[in-house]
Structure 1
Amino acid sequence: MNKFIFIFFLLGNYALAQTPKPITLEDSKKITLEDIYKNNTFKTNVVAGFRSMNDGKSYVSIETNPITKERFVARRNYSDGKISEELFSEKDLTYNNIKLPIGTDFSPDEKKVLIAYQSEKIYRYSTKAFYYVLDLQTKKISPVSNNKEKQLYATFSPDGSKVGFVRGNDLFYTDLASGEEVQITHDGKHNEIINGGTDWVYQEEFSFTSAFFWSPDSKQIAFYRFDETEVKEFSMTMFTGLYPSEYKFKYPKAGEKNSTISIHVYNLANKNTSTVDIGSEKDQYIPRIKWTQDPNILCVLRMNRHQNQLEYLLWNEKKQSTNIILTETDKYYIDINDDLTFLKDNKHFLLTSEQDGYNHIYLYNIDGKLIQQITKGNWEVTKLYGINEETGTLYFQSTESSPLQRDIYSINLSGNKKKKISISEGTNAATFSADFSYYVLNYSSVNTPPYITLNSNKGIIRVLEDNHTSKEVSKEYGISPRDFFSFTTSEGADLNGYMIKPTNFNKDTKYPVLMFVYGGPGSQNVVNSWTHNYWFDYLAQKGYLIVCVDNRGTGFRGAEFKKMTYLELGKYETIDQIEAAKWLGEQSYVDKDRIGIWGWSYGGYMASLAITKGADVFKTAIAVAPVTNWRFYDSIYTERYMRTPQENSSGYDNNSPISFANKLKGNFLLIHGTADDNVHFQNSIMLSEALINANKPFDQAYYPNKNHSINGGNTSLHLYTKMSEFIFNKL
């Protein structure tokens, strides 16, 4: 569930945005569901294939010849935007009559490009494909492997001479000069042993798939080995063919056995594999490994199963020994990120941590001694972009201006000379050149589509994408502005929200309300950014008031606000959503007897709790792919917030919608994909059974062979048509 957070980024507080003059329905086109889910009417543009090059003065992007319509990869100068070189085009990408797709996955020396052909999803984040290498000088194309089986996680070595990959749960590399394929491991086996890749739960909850890492000198490969033997299998029925088939994969549920992890280092010269000492405890996590600047020293992050202790280990290849240099503890839990940065002096490293209650940047020496807390304050660093080591300047994104906003800053290693780089209120994200002298700024606000500019330290050089067409389409269809508000609950919680008012809004009219909720730990939906769900605008044109409130437990307001739901997921979040509905019911323009709520994944869980625990407040609810008891969900995510069911039985059952099925009064629609490998169909089946046993009428829909996203073909159009009709008839 880690990344399925439905962040619509529609933030701001009640004072951030000015409301434009309302557009009446008569002035604008009517939105249709086909516009949204079939015709792609409301798309926004991006800069395709953008990548900064090593010289720090140029970048590449995928462009289209206006005459031939052929796509090509161009190198452009940051300074004047002119094309200095056309590196290759689609006409260069034919191999044995196979037309390969264009891409910008360059080797570190920028002499080759890795091309993935016939990419195929495995789970939500992992893919396999046939990989090819294009030599930019000769335009020769070579397959990474001549094996007929697809490869996973193909990755260039730092010197660009080799490509590592996984096939059949074993780790390989190919020497590009000789074409020799070397097999590093030999014990890989489906649902038993994985080498160089992650198991399902690590992919989903620790957010990485490729689990092998080249040393800086390209002479060694560090890799994970997952032993899944004792992890229980989960079966999904695939309803295809005359006889349905069973798909089985290892899925550790809360309190059940996880994979046993070991870390190994393969030496390409002597072909020896060393085992890294990560301790004798088997029931633990290794959420990250990363090479330091020294090609013989590997950093291993080790975490206990409760995820409230994180240790930084340095493994020395020459000494074949491990040393613990830093230990961080938390009374709740520790979130994992990718901000760990080892400096080129090989004497210091940077990391971000919530140890003072907010996520900030810290500088340590290589022995784990704290040198400096670089950023401080009641705000959060949301991304560490990197460091210009020549000037000692750090670049980062933060919420300093507002928890509902993102700005770009620079600061020196001593924590001085902090400078705000971005100037516009909203959400700012940066992509810096290699030497940090230029950056691409992707800016948007709640009422401004992505505006992408190329910048230097002197300001904007030129506009790369202004999404003018998207603006015009929004005006044409009368897309309503997002208005922001905040209120204080009876328990003293200050909550932020946004609302989309119906077209032709009249404050003297009482409108039905549909609330949208996600609400999971660390998430955020109320944010000053453009990413719209146009279904909300469709409903607003139909006369519905759309409201979203970020409850306690959501992110970017400090650790205490985020972690207060610890051991009781669902309790305080539901209280806050019920109070939000009651607050709305007190507004003169709201029909308090027609308030509904819907959500997906964690939001489906919340909607299910709202319509049961809040049965006297909510008339209607829709739950899509909901967790209905945390006992059914995976170990890493669930135990991070709840510990195990064996330790916290009441926390699991007291906040399960299944336990409150007999309280249902209103209209309830339950939706799930039958092939959901993340939140299993089992969740909806068990809630259905509880509702049936309680003799409660409800509606349900299932989507055959669809995963957690429930999409593909006409699926999205069908799904949102069904939900729309339910709202029109039941709210």
Structure 2
Amino acid sequence: EERLLAIDPPTGRTTSLLVERDPAWLNLALRVPRWRDDGSGFLWITERRGAPQLELHDRGGRLVRALNDPSLGLRELVHVDEGRRIAWVLAGAHATERRLVRLSLDANGSKPRAMTQEPEYDSAVFPEEGNDLYVLGIHTLAGARRQEVWKTDGERQGLLRAVAEEPERLPEVELTRLGSSPGIDVALIRPHDFDARRRYPVIDHVYAGPLSQTVLSDRRQYLLDQWIADHGYVVLCIDGRGTPGRGRSWERAIRGDLATAALDDHVAALRALAKKYRELDLARVGVFGWSFGGYFSLMALMRHSEIYGAAVAGGPVVDWRDYDTHYTERYLGLPQKQAAAYDKSSVLTYAAKLARPLLIVHGTADDNVYLVHSLKLCEALNRAGKDYEFLPLVNQTHMVADPLATVRLYARLVEHFDRALKARR
């Protein structure tokens, strides 16, 4: 439950303006409540109709109107222009896409208007003061990545020159959706020298957790996947249940169990993809990811060894009792009351089932997922008599920033999969 309260400063008395409730959890939206400049009301984001909507409320909290239909695919409120009576949001009806959209604050205003039309995944920055200009970050499936300056009336003013090094070749990416209502989104990255007559080992590059997607209409986000694919693999990214952008029910399917729904969706997706694309060899499937993706990789290897033949788990959460309570308790509840949910979602519960090659990687200075997670896993695997490899990254935090350490890490990853999967041909 979430309550928005108005406080009377002289007396300290509070008045409830609105209440949000959800039997699973409530997502906390950025930049709301956003009060109107004249104090007449505020903007609010709700999921009570099944998907995010931007609402206008009066100063007493009563709903005036919703500014968008749930089908818009609202992701975030970016800016409010009171003079033009416009709310700028990021939204995309398809989960893989996100565009800058203008919404009218008026009851009889214009329909929502997207500022771009290509398959893309965009961002936007508005100035803290003034409403005449904004910077639009464009990331397209065709491969464009640029920062453009626009007037709010829709006129492009210029381009901010990028100084980043350009890749020699862009990734070979195909996006597809399996099934419907709403279906599972997948990105396939094939080698640059792909041979349709061959069958390739498969790498499932995964995150699979809340608040993040891996299948986006941004070609350049797959540069690492392409580098791995060019070593003789087809790399897959799969967004199953629990990931955002698909509505309330899809995202909240993981309540009380952080792994099972996502595991089921990845296994189903792999089997469906193998029927659609003959080059995918399901007898040789590896999985890797970092953070929640590392957690998923461990669970996949231990619970679905009939599909996954090897894993690399980077910075993995192992026991959710040892992770950030603000994050964890919205999904699993309180550990004192929902012990069974924590046990079911813990890698330690399944450690004795390890039967495939595993490489665990962890930064010794990780300040997000503490090193104790991987140390607990090593202890459990030792006691179960299981073989594994452990690569500590000395003085590295949760995100490995050292260039040489990064190069060595991914070279080790490819070597691990080469030994475990290619030898099984």
8 Å contact kept, 1:630–1:652: yes
AA aligned opposite 1:703: L
Q: Which ranges in structure 2 are unaligned for 5 or more consecutive residues?
A: none
Which residue number corresponds to residue 573 of structure 1? Answer: 262
> Which one of the candidate residues 369, 373, 384 is aligned to 1:694?
384
8 Å contact kept, 2:172–2:226: no
Q: CA deviation at 1:352?
A: 1.1
8 Å contact kept, 1:498–1:526: yes
Which residue number corresponds to residue 430 of structure 1? Answer: 124
> Which one of the candidate residues 452, 474, 478 is aligned to 2:169?
478
DSSP-derived class of the 1:364 partner: strand
Q: CA deviation at 1:642?
A: 0.4
Q: CA deviation at 1:488?
A: 3.3
TM-score where L is the length of structure 2? 0.91
Structure 1 position 727 matched with structure 2 position 417: yes
8 Å contact kept, 2:191–2:234: yes
Change (3 A) 1:386 1:539: closer
Q: Between Structure 1 and Structure 2, how many residues are aligned?
A: 415
Which residue number corresponds to residue 461 of structure 1? Answer: 157
Change (3 A) 1:436 1:549: same
Which residue number corresponds to residue 186 of structure 1? Answer: none
Matches within 5 A, 1:657-668: 657-668=347-358
AA aligned opposite 1:465: R
Which residue number corresponds to residue 338 of structure 1? Answer: 30
> Aligned-residue CA RMSD in angstroms?
2.1
Q: CA deviation at 1:675?
A: 2.4
Which residue number corresponds to residue 189 of structure 2? Answer: 500
Which residue number corresponds to residue 675 of structure 1? Answer: 365
Q: Distance in 1 between matches of 2:146 and 2:399?
A: 28
8 Å contact kept, 2:52–2:70: no
Worse overlay, 518-527 or 374-383: 374-383
Q: CA deviation at 1:713?
A: 5.8
Matches within 5 A, 1:380-459: 380-400=73-93, 402-415=94-107, 416-425=109-118, 426-432=120-126, 434-456=129-151, 457-459=153-155
* Deviations 1:265-304 (CA, angstroms, capped at 9, x unpaired): xxxxxxxxxxxxxxxxxxxxxxxxxxxxxxxxxxxxxxxx
DSSP-derived class of the 1:378 partner: helix
Q: Which ranges in structure 1 are unaligned for 5 or more consecutive residues?
A: 1-308
Q: Distance in 1 between matches of 2:84 and 2:396?
A: 51
Q: CA deviation at 1:616?
A: 1.1
> Which one of the candidate residues 367, 380, 393 is aligned to 2:60?
367
8 Å contact kept, 2:171–2:226: yes
Give the structure with the higher percent helix. Answer: 2
Q: CA deviation at 1:567?
A: 0.9
AA aligned opposite 2:400: I
RCO greater where, 1 or 2, for CA within 8 Å and sep 6 or more? 1
Q: Distance in 2 between matches of 1:711 and 1:590?
A: 33
Q: Distance in 1 between matches of 2:88 and 2:36?
A: 14
Matches within 5 A, 1:507-526: 507-526=196-215
Change (3 A) 1:636 1:466: closer
> Which one of the candidate residues 211, 215, 218 is aligned to 1:529?
218
Which residue number corresponds to residue 18 of structure 1? Answer: none
Q: CA deviation at 1:660?
A: 1.6
AA aligned opposite 2:139: S
AA aligned opposite 1:478: R
Matches within 5 A, 1:139-538: 309-340=1-32, 341-400=34-93, 402-415=94-107, 416-425=109-118, 426-432=120-126, 434-456=129-151, 457-465=153-161, 473-474=166-167, 477-488=168-179, 494-538=183-227
Q: CA deviation at 1:564?
A: 1.2
Structure 1 position 636 matched with structure 2 position 326: yes
Q: Distance in 2 between matches of 1:504 and 1:589?
A: 13
8 Å contact kept, 1:310–1:329: yes
Q: Distance in 2 between matches of 1:584 and 1:665?
A: 25
Matches within 5 A, 1:68-147: none
Q: Distance in 2 between matches of 1:370 and 1:722?
A: 56
AA aligned opposite 1:444: H
8 Å contact kept, 1:447–1:482: no
Q: CA deviation at 1:449?
A: 3.3
Q: CA deviation at 1:530?
A: 4.3
Q: Distance in 1 between matches of 2:216 and 2:248?
A: 18
Q: Distance in 1 between matches of 2:237 and 2:82?
A: 43
* Deviations 1:346-381 (CA, angstroms, capped at 9, x unpaired): 121111111211111111112211111111132432
Q: CA deviation at 1:499?
A: 0.9
8 Å contact kept, 1:443–1:450: yes
Which residue number corresponds to residue 286 of structure 2? Answer: 596
* Deviations 1:676-717 (CA, angstroms, capped at 9, x unpaired): 222121211222222222222111111223221233363222
AA aligned opposite 1:447: A
8 Å contact kept, 1:453–1:465: no
8 Å contact kept, 1:512–1:545: yes
Q: Distance in 1 between matches of 2:154 and 2:84?
A: 17
Which residue number corresponds to residue 583 of structure 1? Answer: 272
DSSP-derived class of the 2:122 partner: strand
Identity %: 25
AA aligned opposite 1:486: R
**Larger radius of gyration between Structure 1 and Structure 2:** 1
TM-score where L is the length of structure 1? 0.54
Which residue number corresponds to residue 216 of structure 1? Answer: none
AA aligned opposite 1:686: K
Q: Distance in 1 between matches of 2:132 and 2:111?
A: 17
Matches within 5 A, 1:48-63: none
8 Å contact kept, 2:50–2:70: no
Q: Distance in 2 between matches of 1:531 and 1:330?
A: 37
Q: Distance in 2 between matches of 1:443 and 1:721?
A: 31
DSSP-derived class of the 2:125 partner: strand
Q: Distance in 2 between matches of 1:478 and 1:387?
A: 39
AA aligned opposite 2:207: Y
Change (3 A) 1:538 1:458: closer
8 Å contact kept, 2:170–2:219: no
Q: Distance in 1 between matches of 2:384 and 2:85?
A: 65
AA aligned opposite 1:397: L
8 Å contact kept, 2:143–2:170: no
Q: CA deviation at 1:603?
A: 0.4
Change (3 A) 1:506 1:437: same
8 Å contact kept, 2:243–2:250: yes
Q: Distance in 2 between matches of 1:346 and 1:601?
A: 42
Change (3 A) 1:393 1:429: same
8 Å contact kept, 1:499–1:548: yes
Change (3 A) 1:320 1:592: closer
DSSP-derived class of the 1:448 partner: coil
Change (3 A) 1:518 1:644: same
Q: Distance in 1 between matches of 2:113 and 2:161?
A: 23
8 Å contact kept, 1:379–1:398: yes
DSSP-derived class of the 1:427 partner: coil
